[in-house]
Amino acid sequence: MSAGDPGLCRDCRHARRVETPRSLFWLCRRSATDPSFPRYPRLPVLTCRGYEPGGDPSATPEPDEPAV
Protein backbone atom coordinates (compact mmCIF):
# COMPACT_ATOMS: atom_id res chain seq x y z
CA MET A 1 0.00 0.00 0.00
CA SER A 2 1.46 3.36 -1.01
CA ALA A 3 1.35 6.59 1.01
CA GLY A 4 -1.56 7.97 -1.03
CA ASP A 5 -3.58 4.74 -1.16
CA PRO A 6 -7.08 5.11 0.36
CA GLY A 7 -7.35 1.38 1.02
CA LEU A 8 -10.84 -0.11 0.70
CA CYS A 9 -12.37 3.26 -0.24
CA ARG A 10 -10.62 3.04 -3.62
CA ASP A 11 -13.23 0.62 -4.96
CA CYS A 12 -16.12 0.81 -2.47
CA ARG A 13 -19.49 1.64 -4.01
CA HIS A 14 -20.23 4.02 -1.09
CA ALA A 15 -17.05 6.07 -1.44
CA ARG A 16 -16.68 9.23 -3.50
CA ARG A 17 -13.40 10.86 -4.32
CA VAL A 18 -13.51 14.60 -3.56
CA GLU A 19 -10.72 16.78 -4.95
CA THR A 20 -9.98 20.38 -4.14
CA PRO A 21 -7.11 22.42 -5.61
CA ARG A 22 -4.92 21.51 -2.63
CA SER A 23 -6.35 18.28 -1.19
CA LEU A 24 -7.92 14.93 -1.92
CA PHE A 25 -10.59 13.41 0.34
CA TRP A 26 -12.72 10.28 0.31
CA LEU A 27 -16.35 10.80 1.30
CA CYS A 28 -18.23 7.86 2.81
CA ARG A 29 -21.82 8.14 1.58
CA ARG A 30 -22.94 5.63 4.22
CA SER A 31 -22.39 8.40 6.78
CA ALA A 32 -25.49 10.18 5.41
CA THR A 33 -27.78 7.42 6.69
CA ASP A 34 -25.70 5.81 9.44
CA PRO A 35 -23.86 8.16 11.82
CA SER A 36 -21.56 5.34 12.97
CA PHE A 37 -19.66 5.77 9.68
CA PRO A 38 -17.27 8.73 9.55
CA ARG A 39 -18.02 11.20 6.75
CA TYR A 40 -14.33 11.41 5.83
CA PRO A 41 -12.62 8.28 7.19
CA ARG A 42 -8.99 8.22 8.21
CA LEU A 43 -6.95 6.72 5.38
CA PRO A 44 -5.97 4.10 4.49
CA VAL A 45 -9.13 2.19 5.40
CA LEU A 46 -8.03 -1.39 5.98
CA THR A 47 -11.27 -2.83 7.40
CA CYS A 48 -14.84 -1.56 7.13
CA ARG A 49 -18.11 -3.33 7.94
CA GLY A 50 -19.86 -1.25 5.26
CA TYR A 51 -17.46 -2.02 2.43
CA GLU A 52 -19.11 -3.14 -0.80
CA PRO A 53 -16.96 -3.52 -3.92
CA GLY A 54 -18.03 -1.95 -7.16
CA GLY A 55 -17.32 1.74 -6.84
CA ASP A 56 -15.81 4.01 -9.46
CA PRO A 57 -13.45 6.50 -7.80
CA SER A 58 -13.50 8.74 -10.87
CA ALA A 59 -17.30 9.01 -10.83
CA THR A 60 -18.89 12.39 -10.33
CA PRO A 61 -21.54 12.87 -7.62
CA GLU A 62 -25.04 11.72 -8.45
CA PRO A 63 -27.48 14.53 -9.40
CA ASP A 64 -29.24 14.51 -6.01
CA GLU A 65 -25.95 14.34 -4.12
CA PRO A 66 -24.56 17.72 -3.06
CA ALA A 67 -21.04 18.47 -4.19
CA VAL A 68 -18.58 18.81 -1.32
Q: What is d(CA 44, CA 30) in angstroms, rounded to the nearest whole number?
A: 17
- Phi and psi dihedrals of 38, rounded to 5? -70, 140
Q: What is the pLDDT of residues 55-68, one digit of tens each?
A: 665 554 554 555 54
Q: What is d(CA 54, CA 67) in angstroms, rounded to the nearest whole number?
A: 21
Q: What is the pLDDT of residues 1-36, one digit of tens each?
A: 555 799 999 999 999 999 999 999 999 999 999 999
Handedness of CA 5, 39, 8, 46 (dihedral sign): positive
Instruction: Determine how many CB atoms are found less than 10 A away from the CB of residue 34.
Output: 9
* pLDDT computed for residue 56 by the predictor: 62
pTM: 0.73
User: Which of 7, 47, 52, 45 lies closest to 30, judged by CA?
Assistant: 52
